């Protein structure tokens, strides 16, 4: 049976179309989810896409966290549903306390848009299990508020538990502490990533096909997961 992967559209989402396309190229069925509908329509996993939900008003992701669909997703994620938050989706996951820390204004105050090398630090998550630990991938980064911050105890805990999923290599685009580009929760089913794997799935438009691994990983995870 084809896996069904939900992609949420909030008011102001930009990359929901590309995320749905990446899901389809990876071999799953994308299911569009609407922010105002708390029903997940039986999806096996969820992607929170990039963009500027609710105009980034107040703080990035702060208002999206209270969308009806998010209340269902938070409960389901605590129950093991794989959730990938990309860029604004990462910000939403932090605001919803599914992931620790926060994303703040880039230290240099400039929006950064470039192809970025990342090192996959943890291949043990639902979204990175097709990578090798230490593997380098090339994925576009584009953000104005991508500087990951957390207190030292939280950062040390993330490192000790192998929950830093990816780090920036060859230059940190936003000042993130410890070059962190992606993290996961303790169970490994929820991943937040600032760069955009959904923009690196086709030779025509992406700098590589490396982003596809995130989407094929969740399919592998779903097949291997106990029913």
Partner 1 sequence: MPRVVVDVMLKPEILDPQGQAVANALPRLGVGDVASVRIGRRIEIEFTGEPDLDRAREIADKLLANPVIEDFTVRLVEADETADARS
C-alpha to C-alpha distance for 98 and 105, rounded to whole angstroms:
20
Shortest Å distance, C-beta 107 to partner 1: 5
Selected binder of partner 1 within 4, 24, 59, 112 (CB under 8 A): 59
> Residue ranges of the alpha helices (H) in the chain?
16-25, 68-78, 88-95, 152-160, 212-224
Which of residues 1, 109, 153, 204 is near partner 1 by CB under 8 A? 109
Residue 106 binds partner 1 (CB under 8 A): yes
Q: Is 107 in the site for partner 1 (CB under 8 A)?
A: yes
CA distance 2 to 11: 28
CB of 181 to partner 1, least distance (A): 18
- For the bound state, the minimum distance from the C-beta of residue 175 to partner 1, rounded and expressed in Å, comes to 8
The pairing of beta strand 164-169 with beta strand 180-184:
antiparallel
Is residue 196 flagged as an active site residue? yes
Span interacting with partner 1, options 25-33, 58-66, 125-133, 204-212, rule CB under 8 A: 58-66
Candidate list 12, 17, 72, 105; residue touching partner 1; CB under 8 A: 105
Listed ranges 10-18, 106-114, 161-169, 218-226: which one lies at the site for partner 1 (CB under 8 A): 106-114
- Rounded distance, CA 181 to CA 170, Å? 13
Cα angle: 171, vertex 174, 179; to 5 degrees: 55
Choose the binding region for partner 1 from 42-50, 75-83, 104-112, 198-206 (rule: CB under 8 A).
Answer: 104-112
Residue 167 Cβ vs partner 1, minimum distance, rounded to whole Å: 19
Q: Measured between alpha carbons, how far is 147 from 206 in angstroms, rounded to an integer?
A: 23
Query: For residues 191 and 127, is the Cβ–Cβ distance under 8 A?
Result: yes
User: Judged by CB under 8 A, which of 27, 32, 39, 66 binds partner 1?
Assistant: 66
Q: Are 41 and 35 contacting, i.e. CB atoms less than 8 angstroms apart?
A: no
Residue with tokens 């937040």: 192
Tell me whether residue 58 or residue 187 sits nearer to partner 1 (CB atom): 58
CA dist 3 and 27 (Å) reads: 8
Of 54 and 168, the one with the shorter C-beta distance to partner 1 is: 54
**Chain residues that interact with partner 1, rule: CB under 8 A:** 58-59, 62-63, 66, 94-95, 100-102, 104-109, 149-150, 175
């Amino acid at each position: 049976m084809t896996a069904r992967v939900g992609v949420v559209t909030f008011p102001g989402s930009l990359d929901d179309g590309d995320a749905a396309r990446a899901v389809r190229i990876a071999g799953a069925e994308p299911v569009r989810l609407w922010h105002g509908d708390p029903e997940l329509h039986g999806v096996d996993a969820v992607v929170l896409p990039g963009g500027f939900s609710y105009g980034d008003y107040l703080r990035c992701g702060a208002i999206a966290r209270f969308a009806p669909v998010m209340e269902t997703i938070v409960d389901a994620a605590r129950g093991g549903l794989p959730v990938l938050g990309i860029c604004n989706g990462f910000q939403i996951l932090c605001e919803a306390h599914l992931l620790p820390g926060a994303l703040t204004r880039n230290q240099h105050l400039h929006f950064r848009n470039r192809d970025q090398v990342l090192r996959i630090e943890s291949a043990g998550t639902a979204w990175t299990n097709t990578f090798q630990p230490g593997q380098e991938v090339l994925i576009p980064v584009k953000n104005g508020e991508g500087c990951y911050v957390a207190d030292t105890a939280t950062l040390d805990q993330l490192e000790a538990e192998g929950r830093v999923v990816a780090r920036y290599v060859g230059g940190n685009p936003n000042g993130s502490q410890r070059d962190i580009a992606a993290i996961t929760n303790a169970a490994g089913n929820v991943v937040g990533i600032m760069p955009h794997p959904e923009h690196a799935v086709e030779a025509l438009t992406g700098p590589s096909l490396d982003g596809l691994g995130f989407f094929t990983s969740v399919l592998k995870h779903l097949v291997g997961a106990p029913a």
